[in-house]
Amino acid sequence: MTKGRGGLRGGHVLAIFLGFFITVVAVDGLMIYQAVSTFGGLETQDAYRKGLAYNQRIAQDAEQSLAGWRDEVKVVGSPHRLHVALRDQSAAAIAGKRLIATVGRPATDRFDMTLELAEISPGIYEAPLPAASEGSWIVDLSAYDANASGSPLYQARRRAWIGP
C-alpha cells in the first residue's frame, strides 16, 4: 500500500476541533469583558424605598408645578460650563438659591459628576464641566434655599448636548 499525503487525517480534525472551541472561548471572553466593564451594575440605588415613596414624589411634582418655575439648561463656552437660568411664572429671575447638578451620560454612571453652581447674575447659575466630552448628557438639577439643606425647592431632569 502507498501512503497518501492528501486527505483529512485525525490530526487535522483535532486541530479544526480545537481551533473552533478556542475561537468560541476567545469571543465569549471578549464579550463578557465588554459587558462587565461597561455596565456599572446599578440602575437605581435603593429602588425599593424609592418605590414606597413614589406617591410623595408625585405630590412634590404637583406642588412644584404650581410654583411655576422654569429652567433653561445648556452647556456653553470653551472650556465647557453648565449654564442654568431659573425663572418664575412671570419670567422674573429666581436669585439667591443654591443649585446642585448631577451630570452624567444617559447609559452609564461611569462619568457622573456632582457640581455646585455659582450665581453669576440674578437667576443665572454656572459651573465648570471638567472632562465633559462631546455627546449627550443628563443633568439632574436641584435648587435649595441658600441657607437650608433640607429637601429641594425645585428639581428637574434635562438633557444637554455638547456638540463638536
Report pLDDT for 119.
Answer: 93
Domain count, the chain: 2
The range of the structural domain enclosing residue 73 comes to 69-162
95 and 16 within one domain: no
Residue 1, pLDDT above cutoff 50: no
CB burial string 88-101: b at 16+ within 10 A, e below: eeeeeebeebbbeb
User: CA-CA distances (angstroms) from residue 124 to 11, 17, 55, 112?
Assistant: 75, 67, 32, 23
84 and 156 within one domain: yes
pLDDT in tens, 70-123: 899 999 888 889 999 999 989 899 999 999 999 998 888 788 899 999 999 999
132 and 77 within one domain: yes
| Amino acid, single-letter form, for residue 108 | T
Number of neighbouring beta carbons within 10 Å of residue 137: 23
pLDDT in tens, 54-85: 888 888 888 888 888 889 999 988 888 999 99
The answer as to whether 15 is a domain residue is yes
